[in-house]
Chains A and B, each alone.
Chain A
Amino acid sequence: MKPVADFDERRPIYLQIVELICRRVARGELPPGARLPSLRDLSQEMAVNPNTVQRAYQELERLGVAATKRGQGTFVAEIPDLVARLRRELAVRAANNYLRELESLGFSPADALRFLAERTKEGDDDLVGGGSTERK
């Protein structure tokens, strides 16, 4: 019964559902050809209006991530490079967020790159475990 997703209500909710599904596809949790939950199921799971889910599905279709088969439901599109494309798009978005955050702190793109190089040198364990707690 608990909603799986915490939405930021300052942004359109359907776009956040789109992002959530794109991320699931990029991670391989929803492979091409997989059936997306019905409008009713997803709307109850996320505690949002079914029309909002429908809007998200329409947007996914427009983006070429999903396709609706009449009478059968909505499926992850079966396009060969879909997963690779989404992974890349999400990586670019994460990189942009990182750059924007550093820029707001007064760092140049060169600084941002140097930080990344340093962080990567420190080893994988530290990257996974320590990355987000460092500032505390």
Chain B
Amino acid sequence: MMTLSVVEVRNVSKRYGPTVALRGVSLELEAGRVLGVLGPNGSGKSTLMRLMAGLSQPSAGQIRILGEKPGPSTRARVAYVPEVDCLYPSLRVEEMLDLQARFFADFDRTQAAELLEFMHLTPRAAVRSLSKGQRARLKLILALARRADLILLDEPFSGIDPPSRERILQGILATHRGDRSLILSTHLVREAEKLFDRVVFLSKGEIFLAGDAEALRQERGMSIEEIFREEYN
């Protein structure tokens, strides 16, 4: 049986001037699977996510997203949530959703309304009045409510209180469909451990360990979090 690769990264490197952010990175993800991109800060996670989102170009190597070179046409089918805040403080929550709906044809208003309720956000609330955890949840809704084939979440848990993390995790699970793939980068492995089908471990821009999450647990008798701690100590 042929499985369709949603993401194909082949021997990709990325330099910023003299700095090498990624070196010879390869990975592949089939439809419907969840991949964890793990590594400490500065290991190249965000660079890799931006490349897959089509927001920057690799210096060497090849990337295919849904069979295409990342660019405007893949961006319409990929929902990318950067770690940095991308919300407009002067808008209300519902206006932020309106704006997203205007940008992306696949934005599902019904799903967004359900997610707002699930994530305990008020449509009338001003974005500027939201806590950090609430902002993180709103950012996530903007992505999860899209009928995108691939969702890229860059560090969705960092700097957020545990109850918000739990909500975010539940929101991801509640909206996961068999035909949608998800890539989540994080250095907080514990919160996301149970989401992953596959994991790649990045260090200094290189993948040094990759595999099936359950197989890694079986082989090592350790949780992904414990492997993470061991590998980076």
Please list the residues of chain A having a beta carbon within 8 angstroms of any beta carbon in chain B. Answer: 1, 7, 9-14, 43-44, 47-52, 55
B15 within 8 A of A: no
- With contacts A11-B217, A44-B170, A44-B173 taken as known, whether A49 is within 8 angstroms of B224 at the C-beta atoms is no
Q: List 22 A-B contacts (CB under 8 A).
A: A1-B170, A9-B194, A9-B217, A9-B223, A9-B224, A10-B221, A10-B223, A11-B217, A11-B221, A12-B214, A12-B215, A12-B217, A12-B218, A13-B214, A13-B217, A43-B173, A44-B173, A49-B195, A49-B197, A50-B173, A50-B176, A51-B32
A16 to chain B, nearest CB (A): 10
A47 close to B194 (CB less than 8 A): yes
B contact face: mostly helix, strand, loop, or mixed: helix
Note all chain B residues with C-beta closer than 8 A to A11: 217-218, 221
Sorting the interface of chain B by its residue count into under 10, 10 to 19, 20 to 34 or 35 or more gives 20 to 34
A52 close to B173 (CB less than 8 A): no
A47 close to B193 (CB less than 8 A): no
Most chain B CB inside 10 Å of its own CB: which residue of A7, A51, A52: A51
Q: How far is the CA of A11 from the CA of B193 in the complex (A)?
A: 12
A12 to chain B, nearest CB (A): 4
A49 close to B194 (CB less than 8 A): yes
Q: How far is the CA of A48 from the CA of B221 in the complex (A)?
A: 19
B178 close to A50 (CB less than 8 A): yes
A6 to chain B, nearest CB (A): 11
Note all chain B residues with C-beta closer than 8 A to A51: 32-34, 197
CB contact list, B135-185 vs A, under 8 A: 169-170, 173-174, 176, 178
B80 within 8 A of A: no
B197 close to A10 (CB less than 8 A): no
A76 to chain B, nearest CB (A): 23
Note all chain B residues with C-beta closer than 8 A to A12: 214-215, 217-218
Q: How far is the CA of A47 from the CA of B173 in the complex (A)?
A: 7
B226 close to A10 (CB less than 8 A): yes
B87 to chain A, nearest CB (A): 26
Note all chain B residues with C-beta closer than 8 A to A9: 193-194, 217, 223-226
Note all chain B residues with C-beta closer than 8 A to A55: 214
A59 to chain B, nearest CB (A): 11
Q: How far is the CA of A49 from the CA of B178 in the complex (A)?
A: 10
Q: How far is the CA of A1 from the CA of B197 in the complex (A)?
A: 22
Closest residue of chain B to A43, judged by CB?
B173
Q: How far is the CA of A4 from the CA of B180 in the complex (A)?
A: 26
Q: Nearest 3 pairs between A and B by C-beta?
A: A9-B223, A12-B214, A48-B194
- With contacts A47-B173, A49-B34, A49-B173 taken as known, whether A13 is within 8 angstroms of B218 at the C-beta atoms is no
Closest residue of chain B to A44, judged by CB?
B173
Note all chain B residues with C-beta closer than 8 A to A10: 217, 221-223, 226
Q: How far is the CA of A30 from the CA of B173 in the complex (A)?
A: 25
CB contact list, B178-203 vs A, under 8 A: 178, 193-197
Closest residue of chain A to B174, judged by CB?
A44
A14 to chain B, nearest CB (A): 6
Q: A47-B194, A51-B32 are in contact. List 20 more A-B contacts (CB 8 A).
A: A9-B194, A9-B223, A9-B225, A10-B222, A11-B217, A12-B214, A12-B218, A13-B194, A13-B217, A14-B214, A44-B173, A48-B173, A49-B34, A49-B173, A49-B194, A49-B196, A50-B176, A51-B33, A51-B197, A55-B214
